[in-house]
Structure 1
Amino acid sequence: MSTSATSLERITLEPSSPANSCVIWLHGLGDSGAGFAPIVPMLALPENHGIRFVFPHAPEQAVTINQGYVMRSWYDIKSMDLHNRADMEGVLASEKLVQGLIQEQIDLGIAAKNIVLAGFSQGGVLSLFTGLRFSQSLAGILALSCYLPTADTLPEHCHSANSTTPILQNHGEQDAVVPISAGKMANALLNEANYNVSWQSYPMEHSVLPEQLTDISTWLQARLLS
């Protein structure tokens, strides 16, 4: 991928008050930023919140497990085997794009400590991977229905800047796309390394529930509005 962060198409939702924080939310395979942008009203945030929401669209590329069809994807998925699922070259390329999105917000005056990196499925993989390795402390990392691209090990070069950053993992108990065992494996690794990680599962498949969004809203407000 030769795309740069500045050229990534995205949906940006500005708060009614001047923005003083930001949530960068990464979508899953084959989706777009439009898939999650409608959740913002469902978060029922205070009217005077200053949270900017950025929903970028992944670049389009061929995806091996989908017969090579071209779709929006943060990286190629080569197989359903967790140990050989993520194309790490693609993960690293998209990590640079996400780093660029964070830097854009910093350049706009939002401190890294007021930025939450969030994502669902493939986007959650990128939020977790990028957040653990990012060189400035973030407000939080939200990893929904996802896994670590490095399977049963933490990524290389995890940065101490985010060693205490709050991480929230959510997963569906009936998820047939990303088995809950994959999320639990990531959670165990994070716990073993003493990360500030919380886990919550829900009675759902590979999706997001209204009840879950209420819990996410509470978590976001504690990170960005308290």
Structure 2
Amino acid sequence: MNIPPVILNASARHTATLVFLHGLGDTGLGWAGALNTIKPDFLKVICPTAPMLPVTINGGAAMPAWYDITSLDEKDEKREDSAGVDWAVDYLMNIVKGEEKHGIQADRVMIGGFSQGGAVSLRATLTSENQLAGCVALSCYLPGNISALKKRIVDTPVFQAHGDSDSVVSFARGAATSSIVKSMAGNHKFVTYPGMGHEATPAELEDIKKFLLETFKQ
């Protein structure tokens, strides 16, 4: 059964939206609380929950996942289920289209996520035909076939962040992803947090808040 997304409505006139995807095994509720502490009053936040999928690296046990991961080897280019990644990107962009129907155009919709959710958001940003307001990519990587991406520059601002003590998605992979994204995104920032693992910290949340306010100038 699909779990409805957690929606944090704007507390003032709704002029922008953030769609944020959680990491593997989490739910939309897992990030809603933290994002509610930094949400500007004009911003609506949508935190969907991924479908229950059997995850290979979890012994085939089902958990909320945006796509299957078949290997822990970060150098394995086929470690992510590419069809699943494509499905997740389409799912995310359909939410963006849904906001457009409510009067919030794509360039006022920011997407983002943590870990697996951040990976989907990065892929969506680099493949979207429309410019989005921005992308918040936390502790993540660029999934799927990278060579298949169109070699074009996107104007969507990207805030990418990673802890240098991350034992789940290595900092090296995050830095390598940063180099790829920087070559395709005209406005890209990569922030490193010393001593931070696979998590979020108050300092990171404060930087996300600044990115939101700078991007959505009222």
1:119 CA drift (Å): 0.4
**Partner residue of 2:18 out of 7, 23, 47:** 23
Q: CA RMSD for the aligned pairs?
A: 1.8
The answer to whether residue 50 in structure 2 is matched with residue 84 in structure 1 is: no
Corresponding residue SS for 2:205:
helix
User: In 1, Cα distance between the equivalents of 2:13 and 2:65?
Assistant: 32
1:29 and 1:12, CA in 2 relative to 1: closer, same or farther beyond 3 A?
same
TM normalised by structure 1 equals 0.89
Match of 2:29 in 1: 34
Q: Which residues of structure 1 form unaligned runs of 5+?
A: none
Residue 159 of structure 1 and its aligned partner are, at CA, apart by 6.3
Structure 2, unmatched stretches of 5+, are none
Is 1:157 the counterpart of 2:150 in the alignment? yes
Please give the per-residue CA displacement for 1:154-208, whole angstroms capped at 9, x wherever unaligned.
5523665xx1211011001110100011111111112234532101011211000
CA distance in 2, matches of 1:201, 1:85: 25
Q: Secondary structure at the match of 1:36?
A: helix
* Match of residue 162, structure 2, among 165, 171, 176: 171
Aligned amino acid, residue 120 of structure 2: L
Change (3 A) 1:107 1:44: closer
1:56-75 pair list within 5 angstroms: 56-75=48-67
Aligned residue pairs total: 215
CA distance in 2, matches of 1:194, 1:55: 25
Cα distance in 1 for partners of 2:183, 2:151 equals: 14
CA deviation after TM superposition for structure 1 residue 225, in Å? 3.2
Q: Is the 8 A contact 1:144 1:170 kept in 2?
A: yes
Q: For residues 50 and 194 of structure 1, do their structure 2 counterparts lie closer, same or farther at Cα, with a shift above 3 Å needed?
A: closer
- Give 1:40 shift: 2.7
Match of 2:100 in 1: 106
Instruction: Write out per-residue CA displacement over residues 51-110 of structure 1, whole angstroms, 9 at most, x where no aligned residue.
Output: 000000011110000000101000000001222321101001111111111111111110
Equivalent position to 1:180, from 171, 183, 193: 171
CA distance, structure 2, for counterparts of residue 193 and residue 19 of structure 1:
30
Residue 47 of structure 2 corresponds to which residue in structure 1?
Answer: 55
SS at match of 1:201: strand
Identity fraction in percent: 33
Matched residue, 2:140: 146
Whole-Å Cα distance in 2 between the matches of residues 98 and 16 of structure 1? 24
Please point out which of 121, 125, 129 is paired with 2:119.
125
2:187 corresponds to: 196
Does the C-alpha gap of structure 1 residues 150 and 105 become closer, same or farther in structure 2, counting only changes over 3 Å? same
Amino acid at match of 1:189: I
Shift, 1:135, TM fit: 1.3
